[in-house]
Amino acid sequence: MVDEKKLLLLRHGQTDWNVAFKYQGSMDIPLNETGELQAEKTADRLNEWVPDVCLVSPLLRAFRTAEIVSERWQGGPELSVMDDLREISFGAWEGMSVGEVMDAYSDDYEGWRNDPGSWTPPGGEPFEKVRERAKRVVSRVLSCDAERVMAVTHGGLIRAIVASLFSLPDSSVWRFRLDNCAMVGVSFWRGSPSLMFFNDSLHQVVEVGTKLPLSF
C-alpha cells in the first residue's frame, strides 16, 4: 500500500432543482445546461490531474458529471459506481423547496438543520446511516492500492465524509458551503487525513478552455 494518498471529492453540476432550491436526495434529476458547462470547466481543471481510481454515485447528475470530466483523460480509469456515494434520502421533503419545507415542517426542519443526528426528515435516511456510508467510502479509498482517488458525489454525502474523517459533530455538517462542481481535497499520510482545500470552484469563474491546473 502507498504511504501517501490523495482523495478528491467532486460535487455534481447544477440541476434545475438546485436552481429552485428543491431537495433532490434520492431523486434522479439530470444536469441542466449550466451543469453540463460546469462539468466541462471542471474537466479543463482536471485535464492533467488523472486519478488512479474514480468512484461515482449511481445518480445521473453525478454520473454525467464524471462522464464529462473523464472524457478528457488519456488512459484514465473506468468509472466505478459505488452505491454508498448516493445522496442522502430526504424522504417526504424530496421535490419540495426549502421554503416549502420550512412552512410545512418548521420544527422538523430547524431541528434537522441544527442537529441532523437527532432529527430525520419524514421517511428519510437517518444521519447515523449516512455516517455509516461515509465510513465505508473512506474505508474503500484507504484500502485501494492507488495514490490518487476521485469520488464524484453529492453535497450532503461529501459533508458527511469530511465530518467522519475529522470527527466533527453532526451539528457541523450544514455549516459548510459547497457549490456545484466544487472540489474538496484530502491528503492521507499512512491513513491520517489532512484537509487541503474545501469548496474549490476557481474553475467556474473562467471561460471554458482556460488552463487552470489543480496543484494537489
Active site amino acids: 12, 87
Helix ranges restricted to H, the chain? 16-19, 33-45, 60-70, 98-104, 106-114, 127-143, 155-165
Cα of first residue to Cα of last residue in the chain, in angstroms, is: 20
18 is annotated as contributing to ligand binding: yes
Q: Which helix (H) or strand (E) holds 22?
A: none
- 125: number of CA atoms within 13 Å, CB side? 19
Q: Which whole-number Å values give the CA distances from 60 to 24, 65, 172, in the listed order? A: 12, 8, 28
91 is annotated as contributing to ligand binding: no
14 is annotated as contributing to ligand binding: yes
84 is annotated as contributing to ligand binding: no
45 is annotated as contributing to ligand binding: no
Name 25's Cβ contacts closer than 8 Å, sequence gap at least 6.
87, 88, 89, 90, 91, 93, 94, 124, 156
16 is annotated as contributing to ligand binding: yes
17 is annotated as contributing to ligand binding: yes
Chain-centre distance for alpha carbon 75: 24
> Distance (Å, rounded) from C-alpha 86 to C-alpha 12?
11
Binding residue numbers: 11-18, 61
Binding residue numbers for substrate: 11-18, 61
